[in-house]
Chain A
Amino acid sequence: MAIYQEKDLRELKYHILTSARHDRAVRDLAGMLGMGVQPFRRILIERLDMQYLENLAGRYEQWEARGDREDPLDRALGRELFTSYLPMVEPSGMEQIRAEARASVEAGTPPSEAAARARGRLAEVLRP
């Protein structure tokens, strides 16, 4: 049964994400996760409400300026970015990915490689 009072917001959300400032932030984030822009837009539309999307560029800029400053691995992974600034991943899921990356570094994997692998894992979690 169709629920008539619920609007389909996908088109409106898409318009928000394609404005100049939002587009820059979306491209940066998609590049960080090694994903295409269009699939990443779809993830954003499905996981965040309209106001998160409207403020996406502001939240991203705020994270760039002051988020995940203490640990380079957290910064590379966007730990706070994807759990607090743009809450798209459960903190427990992020902690698991982070713990795996840290264990990998301790086992001798170069930090950049471990971070890249962890970002790939994060992209898998985000995909619908």
Chain B
Amino acid sequence: MKRVVDVSIPLGPVHPCWKEPARVKCETRGEKVLSAEVELGYMKKGIERIMRGRPWQEVMFLAERVCGICSVIHNMVFIEGMEAVSGITVPDRAAYLRVVMNELDRIQSHLLANFSYCYTIEHETLAMYLLNTRERAMDCMERIAGVRVNKAYMIPGGVRFDLRDTDRALLLADLAHLEDSVHRYGRMFDTGPLIATRSKGVGILMQEQARIARAVGPTARASGIAEDVRLTHPTYRKLAFTPIVRTEGDNHARIMLRFDEIFQSLGLIRQCLHDLPAGPIRGGGTCGAGETVSRGEAPRGELSYFIRSDEYGRILDIAIRTPSIPNIDACTHHMLPGVTSLADVTSVFVSADPCIACNER
């Protein structure tokens, strides 16, 4: 007679499917996962401690280095926080260019997340198509800011580089190409029968569980929670932004929601380029003393910075809450328990787009 035993199976910290080191320990009975827990601490940066006591000019560059994948939003949220405490206003043209850069960053991040998922479920063809498409989004950002990652594009009172007319035309052409590609690959994902077997009904996160774990971003929105910080951002409000929500809460919903958000981002960028006002890109101003909580919608969800600065703009205290903290929590403690095949553990974990660098800031 077959004997069913309880086994604790560790995955990682070094695992072919993980982009970064994390150890997930699964308590299993047969193939079924009963519970899971995460061990971290393999890449703790202590970046908040490094930031304290430094002038904002240095912290601005450190903020981007919390996460290489979503560096733009770290730059944006920190700079908007410094602007809030110092009463600095941003010219309209710069505000629109910030949205363009932020949405390009969201596109590349979502493509990378979906690449990772396809790679994890061993659909390498689609994975490589997506990774190739991401390069075009990276090229768009490079054309505007001069570099691919850690761009430091936003500065208090504006942005560093304007968008030239020739670059605008190239950007619009790239957006059309991106839209075609994402449409094709999104349809391949949505209609693939083998993809559906690995994705539909797997790793379900119920709405109540998402609320308890305070899940954010696509992970929460795929479980029916219509929350997005962009709803309260003044520039996004001008663009009449509304979040995309799905209710299935499984791997398939999370990946498809990211595809849908890419189309939404493409629309927002086009709208910004169409409405882009003429004028300066820097308003000027001096960073000073104050205390604030600055929030922004990162590709993975709500990112917040608590900032306290002195009259010289030195950072006295800072606390960063990244979206991966609640999302990895929701994944480990709500999505993984109940998974019926150990082979699905990696795909469920990757579907939440976990960023260990953000988590271990």
Interfacial residues, chain A to chain B (CB-CB below 8 A)? 5, 7, 9, 12, 19-21, 49-52, 54-55, 57-59, 61-62, 66, 84-85
The 7 closest A-B pairs by CB, nearest first: A49-B37, A55-B329, A12-B41, A58-B214, A51-B38, A62-B214, A51-B329
Indicate if the CB atoms of A7 and B41 lie closer than 8 Å. Answer: yes
Least CB distance from B289 to A in Å reads 18
Chain A residues in 8 Å Cβ range of B37: 49-51
Decide: A21 and B329 in contact? CB cutoff 8 A: no
Instruction: Find the B residue at minimum CB distance from A5.
Output: B10
- Residue of B214, B321, B326 with highest tally of chain A CB at under 10 A: B214
Q: Given the complex, which residues of A lie within 8 Å of B187, measured CB to CB? A: none
B25 vs chain A, min Cβ distance (A): 9
CB-based contact B39/A9 at 8 Å: yes
Provide the bound-state CA to CA distance between A52 and B39, in Å: 11
Q: Which residues of A contact B214 (CB under 8 A)?
A: 55, 58-59, 61-62
Cβ-defined contact, B306 with A55, below 8 A: no
B325 in the interface (beta carbon within 8 A): yes
Cα A121 to Cα B345 in complex, Å, equals 38
A50 in contact with B212 (CB, 8 Å):
no
B343 within 8 A of A: no
From A5, A9, A52, B333 is in contact (CB under 8 Å) with: A52
Measured in the bound complex, the distance between the Cα atoms of B216 and A21 in whole Å is 18
Q: Chain B interface (Cβ within 8 Å of chain A)?
A: 10, 37-41, 44, 48, 211-214, 306, 317, 319, 321, 325-326, 328-329, 332-333, 359
Known: A50-B38, A55-B325. A66 touches B317 (CB 8 A): no
* B212/A84 in contact, CB under 8 A: yes
Contacts of B211 in A (CB 8 A): 62, 66
Query: In the complex, which of the residues B38, B213, B306, B332 has the most CB atoms of chain A within 10 Å of its own CB atom?
Result: B213
A44 shortest CB reach to chain B, Å: 14
The verdict on A51 contacting B321 (CB below 8 Å), with A7-B41, A84-B212 known, is no
Beyond A51-B333, A54-B329, 8 additional contacts (C-beta under 8 Å) are A50-B38, A50-B39, A50-B41, A51-B325, A54-B359, A55-B325, A59-B212, A84-B212
* Known pairs A20-B317, A21-B306, A21-B321; A55 contacts B213 (CB<8 A): yes
Asked whether, in the complex, the Cβ of A9 is within 8 Å of the Cβ of B329, the reply is no
Q: Which of A12, A50, A58, A85 contacts B321 (CB 8 A)?
A: A58
Instruction: Give the CA-CA distance A61 to B304 in the complex, in Å.
Output: 14
Query: Do residues B319 and A19 form an inter-chain contact, with CB atoms below 8 A?
Result: yes
* Partner of A59 from B213, B319, B332 at Cβ < 8 Å: B213
Within the complex, what minimum Cβ distance (angstroms) separates B10 from chain A?
Answer: 8
Question: For A5, A21, A54, which residue has the most chain B Cβ atoms within 10 angstroms?
Answer: A54
Q: A58 contacts B325, CB within 8 Å?
A: yes
Q: Is the CB of A20 within 8 A of B319?
A: yes
B contact residues around A55 at 8 Å (CB) = 213-214, 325-326, 329
Q: How far is the CA of A44 from the CA of B101 in the complex (A)?
A: 41
A54 to B332 alpha-carbon distance, docked (Å): 13
Q: Could you show 14 A-B contacts with beta carbons less than 8 Å apart?
A: A7-B39, A7-B41, A49-B39, A49-B332, A50-B40, A51-B333, A54-B328, A55-B213, A55-B326, A58-B213, A58-B326, A62-B211, A62-B214, A66-B211
